[in-house]
Structures are given as structure tokens and as C-alpha cells.
Chains A and B, each alone.
Chain A
Amino acid sequence: MQAPKAPPKKRDWSWRSQAFRGLLYQLIAIVAVVSAVWWLASNSMENMRVRGIKSGFDFLSQPAGFDIGEELIGYDSNNAYWRAFLAGVVNTLRVAVIGIVLTTILGTLIGVGRFSRNGLVRGLCRAYVELFRNIPILLQLLMWYLMFTELLPEAAEPARWGNVFLSKGGLTYPIPVWAQGFAWAIWGVLAGIVASVFYRRWAKRIFEETGKGRSMVWVPLAIICAAGILGWALGGAPTAMHVPKQGELMVEGGGSLSPEFMSVLLGLTFYTAAFVAEVVRAGISSVARGQSEAASALGLTKSLEMRKILLPQALRVIIPPMTNQYLNLTKNSSLAVAIGYPDVVSISNTAINQTGRAVECIALIMAVYLTTSLSTSFFMNWYNNKSAIKER
């Protein structure tokens, strides 16, 4: 005989029932929020009408009329506003991506350094973290900028190491002339990556079948490098470079990094590295000491213990707050507006000054940052769920 079904849920709609109350509160909240938004919107429409400001995003296709100090997409003042915004987004990404890579390296070194056997190293790492964490990021950026603009030599007489020049005009260095060989080198590297994936699979299979270990790191790296060099050689082995030369007033030629870019990059890197170091330290500390003891008791070498036991468990604790720091770095790059580095906030500011369309421009930059944050949160949630230690 089938088990009897549960009777349908009776909804009691009296004044005091929980269901009714819940619905009532929600209705009140929705009405309050909607009417507040409507009131704000109608006020702004009215105010903008009075001041003669039109609304809408149509201004994006009009010519911008201002120059951007440095950009990578080939923009000039006749281009439309949307191209200006695009240049700003590229600038923001440029400083954010390089900053994230540098800060991860520096922060991890300092975080690991706090566990060093050497007391001097431990002390210095601790001092670094305390110092850089307790000073506002804006102040750090301004100080870096001051150093680059006041303490470096003039552009007419730069400091020089071989073909690399450093001065108030920025850092100038030789860059290769783009040629066929470099495209081939990139293809070579890509092919090398594919080859090393196959190599690792093969090495793992051999290990499982015979117990003999093969190098899983150095050989693949060697494969990638060799493939890249092979590609470069096959493409004609180009070696021509744009070499910077000392001109009368400044250094000419070569590739360069402006002092604005460098101050933003270095300021963000050193500041965020202090926080990354703390995240790494907390992650390493989170692994119970008993895990190390069990690993020792089983005869595992220190390197095996690190690779197989400590690091996997530590990374699970490190990665979520680490992605938070990456987001912070990206958001802090908006402070570049105080130094004159043309990131997306800076460009948006200029656009507001010229067109008066405050709401649209601010909405645009918020959209840019929101997209970054939400996609990073998404990735982090996925990673968390995938790597969670399974419990009952």
C-alpha cells in the first residue's frame, strides 16, 4: 500500500499569520524603494531640464575633442567618446593585470618569508607588512609620483645602464622591431604548451605504471622554451631592435613607460603586496601542525610534503581572500585620477566636465567595475565549490 500523501498546506490569511505579515512587510519595502527611486529620478529629470543638459547615451558617438596622455589603441582627439572610454578601460586593465602579477609574486615571497629560519628576514617581512598596510594608498601613490617627478634626473641628462634610460620622462628601453620571426616564436610557444601537456600526461602514466618519477616541471618548461626559440629561428631569427638614443631635450625611440604609469603600478603593487603577504601567511598557518608530523612519520621528503600536503590545503584557504585583493587592486587603480594617469575614471571625469552628462558617465564606470567584480566573484564561487574539502 502506498504511504499516505501529506495534506495540502493550509494558508491562513488572518491578520496575525506569518505568511500575511511577511507579504505585508515585503510590499511595504517594495513600495518604499520604488517610490524613492521614482522621486530621485523625477528630480534629476527636472534639474537636468532646467540646466539644459540632455540625457541619454548618444553623446558616445560624438567626437571627444580631448587628448589622452598615453594609450594603446591609437586614439586621437577626433575620435568618438566611446573610443576615449575604451582607451581608458585598456589603460586600467594594463596597470591592473601587470599589478596583479607583480603583487602576487612580491606578496607571496614576503608571506613565505615570515616563516623563514632567519630572524632578520622574518623581522624585515613583518616590518614591511606593518609599514605598507598602515599608510593610505593615495598617500603612497602621491609619494611614488613625487619620487618619479622630483627625485629622478632631468630628461636631458638621464641615468643610464647600457641602452636603458631612467629620467623624469620615464623609463625608456629597447624593444624589438616587430618581424615575422616573433610571430613564429609565439606560435612556437603555443605549440610547446600543447606538447608539454601531452608530455605531462605521458609522464604521469609512466609513473603510475612503474613508480619511476619523471620531472614534471623542468622538462615541460624546457620544451616550451625550446619550441619558442625554434619558432623564432625558423622565422628568420630577427634581432633588430628600436634602440633609444639620447636626444637634445629627451630620450627618443625605443619603448617607454611614463612616470605616471610607473608610480601607479609600483604604488599599487607595494601596497597590495602587504595584504597578499598576510593572506598567504594565514593560509600557511591554517594547515594543522599534525599534517606535517603525519607526513614526516610516513617518510615524505620536505618537498613532497609541501607539494602534496601543505600547498593544496593552504591554497584552498588562500585563494578566496587573494581574489578579493586582486579586486581591491583593480578598484584602487581608479586613484590614478589623482596623478594624471588616464585610466577609465580619469577619462570619465573629463567627459563629465565637457558634456555635463554626470549620470551616464558615472553609470558607465560603475558598469565597468561591476563587470570585473561580478565575474571575479563568479569564478571564485565556482573555484570554492569545486575544491571544497568534502565533509559529511
Chain B
Amino acid sequence: MSEPIIKFDKVNKWYGNSFHVLRDIDLSVAKGERIVVCGPSGSGKSTLIRCINRLEEHQQGHLTVDGVELTDDVKAIDEIRKNVGMVFQQFNLFPHLTVLENLTLSPMFVGNMPKKEAEEKAMVQLNRVRIAEQAGKYPLQLSGGQQQRVAIARALCLTPKIMLFDEPTSALDPEMVSEVLDVMVELAKQGITMICVTHEMGFAKAVADRVIFMDQGQIIEQNKPDAFFNHPQTDRAKDFLGKILGH
């Protein structure tokens, strides 16, 4: 088996002195694998993926991303962030820049790419998420679903090896959820490594290679989606699924 692209080795994290938010996490993610992380709120799922691009720091254990271990070393963190794209629940687009400027900011100023080239690459990504005609607009002029698709395109502009999604559809009105999920499904089919924290079980069934269930900071169960949703093996998972899929 080839080297996993992400490896958690007994990773522990605390908030303050006593809130043990990640407990002995052991996890390997293979290249091209698509993972959905689910669980009740407060279970540490967001914290888990935010540790991967060092938006949160772990205090114990080893976390290796694409062969580089995550420590306080600033250069290592910068290298990793160029290869890891993130999509936030609140979109976090820069409201004072146009859609196109949002996308070309990092390639131009960090990647030292000429403006024309950056804009061409940006239009390719905008086409990929089917929102090319909004390139000149400002983020607050778009609907929630459109903004999130722009956010996905912005993360893709850095041609990352790994894409992290932190509850990407939780802040959207129901009728906009499907347009974002469609884009994510297409992305998944193109072979990029994806880790997605979400409650959208339909997406998990369609696309995921593995579903990871977390509760109270530890990984309780992980399985193929069919096996997990139809035959959960732990009481906690059964409980959780009962609540979500109940209606």
C-alpha cells in the first residue's frame, strides 16, 4: 500500500487546560480517497479537519500531510497550505474584491503568477463550478449558493492535492444546497482527495469511499457508506443515525 497522504498518529488536542477535544485520533487517508466525517455537534469533527491545514494546533501526537509533518515550523505550514484547499461554512469570501479578484489574489501575490495567466486559470475554475458569468460581480451581490461555489473555485485555483470542506452547505437555504452538492460530486469524480464534514447523507452515499463517525473527540466507527448507514455497528452510531434519518 502506498504512503497515505494524511496520517494522524495518536493526535490529541485540548482547548485550555481541561477540554479534551480530540482524543487519541488514529487515521490514515489514502491519495484520492473521499471521506465524509459526521457526528453530533461538539464531537470535534471541524477541529479534526482544521488541524490538517494548521488553523488549529494539536498538542500531542504526529500529524503528517503529504509527507511533511505539521509542527510550529512556519515554512512547513506554508508548504502544506499550498497543497490543501479549504471551503468554510460561512464562505469567507473577501467582500471588497470582485469574484475574479478573490480567485487571482493568492496565485498572483503568493504564487507570483502574471495577471493574465492567473485570470485564465481562474476562469477555468469558474467554469468548472458553472459560475463564469459572475466573474465581475462582488460577493455580496450573489446568492448564498453562488458564493459557496465561488469559494470552492477559489480553493481550487491553487491546484491543491487535498480539499477540505467544513460543513459547506449548513449555512445555505435548502434550495441552494443541491447546486453546491452537485459541484462537489463532480469534483469527487475527478480524483481529488476530499475530506468533508457534513450532514448531507445523500452526498455521502453517492460519493464517499469511507464514512467516519465521531463523538466526544474520538473516532467511534468508520466504514463504507453502505455498511455504515444500513448496518451501524455501535450503539452511538445507531442512535445518531436514528435521529438524522428518522424523518
Asked if B121 lies at the interface with its beta carbon under 8 angstroms from chain A, I say no
Q: Is the CB of B115 within 8 A of A389?
A: no
Is B41 engaged at the interface, CB distance under 8 Å to the other chain?
Answer: no
Residue of B86, B90, B96 near A316 (CB, 8 A) is B96
Q: Which residue of A lies closest to B79 (CB)?
A: A299
| B96 with A209: CB separation less than 8 A | no
Contacting pair B114 A291 (CB below 8 A): no
Q: How far is the CA of A369 from the CA of B74 in the complex (A)?
A: 54
Closest residue of chain B to A313, judged by CB? B96
In the complex, the answer to whether A211 meets B111 with C-beta atoms within 8 Å is yes
Instruction: Give the residue name and chain of the B residue nearest to A205 (CB).
Output: B115
Whether the pair B109, A300 counts as a contact (CB closer than 8 A) is: yes
Nearest A residue to B117, CB-CB: A211
* Distance of A193 from chain B, by nearest CB (Å): 26
Q: Shortest distance in angstroms between B122's beta carbon and chain A's nearest beta carbon?
A: 13
Interface size (A, Cβ < 8 Å)? 28
Residues of A within 8 A of B84 (CB): 297
Q: In the complex, which of the residues B78, B88, B95, B108 contacts A299, with contact meaning CB atoms closer than 8 Å? A: B78
Cβ–Cβ contact B112 & A211, under 8 A: yes
A290 at the interface (CB under 8 A from B): yes
> Is A298 touching B140 in the complex (CB atoms < 8 A)?
no
Decide yes or no: A308 and B141 within 8 Å by CB, A293-B88, A313-B96 being known contacts. Answer: no
A312-B96, A313-B95, A390-B140 given as contacts; is B88 within 8 A of A304 (CB)?
Answer: no
Does B141 contact A291, Cβ atoms closer than 8 Å?
Answer: no
CB distance from B17 to the nearest CB of A (A): 19
Q: Which residues 90-130 of B sit at the A interface, judged by CB distance below 8 A?
A: 90, 92-96, 105-106, 108-118
Q: Is the CB of B55 within 8 A of A299?
A: no
| CB nearest neighbor in A for B115 | A208
CA distance A308 to B112 in the complex (A): 15
Q: Is the CB of A308 within 8 A of B140?
A: no
Question: A301 in the interface, Cβ–Cβ < 8 Å?
Answer: yes
Tell whether B70 is near chain A: CB-to-CB under 8 Å.
no
User: B112 touches which one: A212, A293, A294 (CB < 8 A)?
Assistant: A212
A213 to B82: give the CA distance in the assembly, Å.
19
A285 within 8 A of B: no
**A328 close to B (CB within 8 Å):** no
CB distance from B225 to the nearest CB of A (A): 27
Q: Give residues of chain B (134-180) contacting chain A, Cβ–Cβ below 8 Å.
A: 138, 140-141, 154-155, 158
Task: Check B114–A210 contact: CB distance below 8 A.
Answer: yes
* B55→A296 contact, CB < 8 A: yes
Contact yes or no, B94 A209, CB < 8 A: no
What does the 1/0 interface line of B24-63 toward A look like (CB < 8 Å)?
A: 0000000000000000000000000000010100000000
Given that A210-B114, A290-B88, A313-B95 are known contacts, is A298 also in contact with B141, CB under 8 Å in the complex? no
Give a binary string over A196-240; 1 marks a CB under 8 Å from any B CB, 0 the rest. 000000000001111111000000000000000000000000000
Residues in B neighbouring A288, C-beta threshold 8 A:
90, 92
Could you say which of B86, B94, B114 contacts A297, with CB atoms under 8 Å apart?
B86
Q: Contact between B53 and A304 (Cβ–Cβ < 8 Å)?
A: no
A392 within 8 A of B: yes
Q: For the complex, is A391 an interface residue (Cβ under 8 Å from B)?
A: yes
Q: Does B217 contact A (CB under 8 A)?
A: no
Q: Is the beta-carbon distance between B110 and A211 smaller than 8 angstroms?
A: no
Number of A-B contacts (CB under 8 A): 88
Q: Kindly state the separation between the CA atoms of A212 and B114 in the bound complex, as whole angstroms.
A: 8
Evaluate contact between B141 and A304: CB separation under 8 angstroms: no
Name the one of B53, B105, B108, B138 contacting A211, with C-beta atoms under 8 angstroms: B108
Q: Hey, which chain B residues are within 8 Å of A308, CB to CB?
A: 94, 105, 109
Given the known interface contacts A298-B110, A298-B158, the answer about A293 and B78 at a Cβ–Cβ threshold of 8 Å is: no
Cβ of B81 under 8 Å from chain A: yes
Q: Which residue of B lies closest to A308 (CB)?
A: B105
Per the bound structure, the CA–CA distance linking A207 and B109 in Å amounts to 9
Choose among B94, B138, B154 the residue that contacts A291 (Cβ–Cβ < 8 A).
B94
| Docked-complex contact A297 and B95, CB < 8 angstroms | no
How far, in Å, is A24 (CB) from chain B's closest CB? Answer: 44
Q: Report whether A211 and B94 are in contact in the complex, using a CB–CB cutoff of 8 Å.
A: no
Complex interface: chain B residues within 8 A of A208 (CB)? 108, 114-116
**B115 contacts which chain A residues (CB < 8 A)?**
207-209, 211
Output the least CB separation between A288 and chain B (Å): 8
- Indicate if A309 sits at the interface (CB-CB under 8 A): yes
CA distance A134 to B5 in the complex (A): 58
Contact A389 B78 (CB under 8 A): no
Cα–Cα, bound, A301→B110 (Å) = 8
When the two chains form their complex, are residues A294 and B94 in contact, meaning their CB atoms are under 8 A apart?
A: yes
Q: Which A residues are in CB contact (< 8 Å) with B90? A: 288, 290
**Contacts A213-B112, A390-B138: A300 and B95 contacting too (C-beta < 8 A)?**
no
B108 (CB) vs chain A CBs: closest residue: A211
Chain A residues closer than 8 Å to B141, beta-carbon distance: 390-392
Nearest CB on B from A195, distance (A): 24
> Contact between B55 and A389 (Cβ–Cβ < 8 Å)?
no
List residues 339-387 of chain A with CB under 8 A from any CB of chain B.
none
A297 touches B109 (CB 8 A): no
Docked CA distance A209–B118 (Å): 10
> Who on chain A is nearest to B164 by CB?
A297
Q: Are B154 and A298 in contact (CB under 8 A)?
A: yes
Contact A298 B96 (CB under 8 A): no
Please list 15 pairs of residues, one from A and one from B, whose beta carbons are closer than 8 Å in the complex, sorted by A's number.
A207-B115, A211-B114, A211-B117, A211-B118, A294-B94, A297-B55, A297-B86, A297-B88, A297-B155, A299-B78, A304-B109, A304-B110, A308-B105, A316-B96, A390-B138
6 further contact pairs, Cβ within 8 A, besides A296-B81, A304-B109, A389-B138: A210-B114, A294-B93, A294-B94, A298-B158, A309-B94, A312-B96
Contacts from B to A (Cβ < 8 Å): 53, 55, 78, 81-82, 84-86, 88, 90, 92-96, 105-106, 108-118, 138, 140-141, 154-155, 158
